[in-house]
Amino acid sequence: MFWNVEKSDSSNKLAALRETFEEIPGLRDHGIDVLDYEYPFGSEEFYRYDIRAYLAELQTEINIHELEFSRSEVSNLQFLDFDTILKPERVKQYVYKSEKPAGSMNGISVPVYDISGTESTGESVNSIFGWQALKMNFTLHNLFPERHNLQMSMTDDMRWLSYK
């Protein structure tokens, strides 16, 4: 999710929470606990946006078909459960190749998650890739290290990043 930090926001974390409630107001009643961890800073492929992500836990069960969300800002809600996404057949490798400005990433093997068949409020998305998949991969590995390895390989000039 992309968001803008406004003058009333005292932190990036609170800006993310404010934006979440603006886009999915139905979550206000479900007790969101934003964990005190900020993912490593990232940027999208063309470096137009700073990407910051946070992990949050909901305190109550949710029926996504009854959850209020702003259809002018959110086209669809799609929820994933850990048991489904942790199945080894749900993650594949994609070798990045591009002639765009981020071409320095060429040759990196990154994860692509198959999320077909998961619960959705509209037209389902069938895969998660790009920076979202990298964040998901990192999260799943840290939550379930015995069930999910980091799914990334690097070129020789990127060995500064340890992934084992």
Q: Dump pLDDT digits (tens) for 107-145.
A: 777 889 999 988 899 888 899 987 788 888 888 888 899
Assess contact for 67 and 93: CB atoms under 8 A. no
pLDDT number for residue 153: 62
Sheet hosting strand 127-128, strand order edge to edge = 91-95, 109-114, 127-128
pLDDT higher than threshold 60 for residue 3:
no
Q: What phi, psi does 9 have (nearest 5°)?
A: -85, 125
